[in-house]
Structures are given as C-alpha cells and as structure tokens.
C-alpha cells in the first residue's frame, strides 16, 4: 500500500486536498475527487461529516460532501483497486484550476505522498506544455519539492528555457537556481512527513 492511501499525516493531508477539491465548482475536478474519496470507503466518513457540518462552508460544497457520504454508505467498505491512481489523478486535476489555496493543498499532498515527485511534476509539465497555467503550477510544484531530478528530467526542464512564455522560462530558472548552494537560503524547514520546500510552499500559498 502506498503512502498516498495509508493513514497518518500524509493520508490526512491528501484527504484534506481531495475534500477541498469539492469546494471549487468545477464538474471534471469534482468528479475525480468524488471517485477518489469514494474509493477510500467508510473510514473517511467521519472526516467528511466534520467538514459538512461546518457552518462556514458553501452550500454547494456541503451538498457534494453529503452526496459522497450517501454513496459510500450504500457501497461496501473495500478499497477499490487502483485507488492511488484515482487519488493522484484528482490531485493533478486540482492543479489545473486557478485557486491558490487548492493548488497549495494538492501540491503538498503529492509531495508528501509520491517519491521523487519532482520527476512527476516535470514530466507532467512537459506533457502539457501548451496548457500554460497548468504547466506553471506544475513547475512551481517541482521547485517546492526541494528535490533534484534525474538526468532525463533535468534535460527536459532545460528545454523549457526555450519556451516562448517568459513566465515559464523564469520559473524554470528559479528551479535551477534553487539547486545552487549559492543562490538563496537552504530549504531546511519542512512539515513532519514532507520533503524540503514546505516552508516556501506555505508562504507562496498565503501571498
């Protein structure tokens, strides 16, 4: 069982991101988050209930949560095959929307749950290079991992320096500079079960 579907801190971070994906009224995203949460079974119902009972959430968010609770209660409690894939698909979909809070939570969940997430973010950015906003979110996430990529990923990122969009070029340059011990402060602060870069992620999300 991967970290993305087990309990503990990374599991809580992942579920928080999936629940927040239901806050944003985007049907494709909502569907992916619903499938991922449903696959986790009855054990997540207490979490969903607490959020649904929060008087501060929107009506649409509450309705989507209650609908998932009903669907889970009507199904069996076994985790579906491929649940980690469903979760990752939903978290990547959360990076497609322009919502800094959700983007932050989804990035955090992936970094805490997926080994070598810098390679994942970089490959995904390369595969969607024409989707500027999504590509930028992925490259920002790659920087926040605090990880150095493999050789192949390194050269994939290098190719972005020729991109016609200056924001993408600048973001890739930020990634390269973050690897240099002479550029910027060391990334020492981190969450309990997360890789380096989380102090920076929190600052970016609050701007």
179 and 146 together in one domain: yes
Average pLDDT score over residue span 15-27 = 97
Tokens coding 172: 């890739």
| Count of alpha carbons within 13 angstroms of residue 54, beta-carbon side | 15
- Tokens in use for 64? 């989507």
103, 1: one domain: yes
Same domain, 106 and 15: yes
Per residue in 138-187, pLDDT (tens digit) is 999 999 998 888 888 888 888 899 899 999 999 999 998 887 654 443 34
- Of 112, 118, 93, which is closest to residue 31 (Cα–Cα)? 93
Read off the pLDDT of each residue in 24-48 and give the average, rounded to a whole number. 95
Domain count for the chain, please give it. Answer: 2
pLDDT at 150: 81
Instruction: Kindly state whether residues 129 and 163 are assigned to the same domain.
Output: yes
Is the same domain home to 77 and 160?
Answer: no
40 vs 1: CA distance, rounded Å: 12
Domain boundary, last residue among 114, 132, 166: 114
How far is Cα 77 from Cα 55, in angstroms, rounded to an integer? Answer: 28
- Could you report the per-residue pLDDT of 50-60, keeping only the tens digit for each? 999 999 999 99
pLDDT of residue 136: 96
The percentage of the chain sitting over the pLDDT mark of 70, rounded to a whole number, equals 80
Same-domain check for residues 22 and 84: yes
Do 109 and 173 lie in one domain? The reply is no
Of 114, 137, 171, the position where a domain reaches its end is 114
Dist. CA 77–CA 90, nearest whole Å: 20
- Is the pLDDT assigned to residue 42 strictly greater than 50? yes
Query: Are 7 and 83 within one domain?
Result: yes
**Residues 34, 66: one domain?**
yes
Q: Do 147 and 100 share a structural domain?
A: no
Average pLDDT, rounded, for the chain:
84
The pair phi, psi for residue 22, each rounded to 5°, is -85, -15
| Whether residue 27 has pLDDT greater than 60 | yes
* pLDDT (0 to 100) of residue 143: 93
* Last-in-domain residue among 114, 144, 176: 114
User: Do both 138 and 78 map to the same domain?
Assistant: no
Q: Which domain holds residue 155?
A: 116-206
- 21 in the same domain as 102: yes
């Amino acid at each position: 069982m991967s970290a993305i579907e087990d309990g503990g801190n990374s599991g809580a971070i992942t579920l928080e991101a999936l629940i927040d994906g239901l806050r944003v009224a985007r049907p494709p995203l909502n569907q992916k988050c619903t499938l991922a949460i449903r696959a986790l079974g009855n054990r997540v119902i207490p979490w969903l209930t607490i959020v649904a009972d929060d008087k501060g959430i929107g009506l649409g968010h509450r309705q989507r949560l209650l609908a998932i609770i009903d669907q889970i209660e009507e199904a069996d409690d076994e985790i579906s095959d491929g649940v980690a894939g469903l979760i990752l698909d939903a978290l990547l979909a959360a990076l497609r929307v322009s919502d800094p809070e959700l983007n932050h939570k989804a990035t955090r969940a992936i970094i805490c749950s997926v080994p070598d997430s810098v390679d994942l973010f970089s490959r995904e950015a390369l595969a969607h290079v024409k989707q500027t906003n999504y590509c930028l979110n992925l490259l920002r996430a790659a920087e926040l991992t605090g990880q150095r990529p493999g050789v192949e990923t390194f050269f994939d990122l290098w190719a972005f320096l020729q991109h016609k969009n200056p924001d993408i070029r600048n973001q890739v340059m930020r990634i390269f500079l973050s690897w240099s011990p002479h550029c910027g402060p060391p990334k020492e602060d981190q969450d309990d079960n997360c890789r380096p870069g989380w102090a920076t992620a929190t600052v970016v999300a609050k701007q």
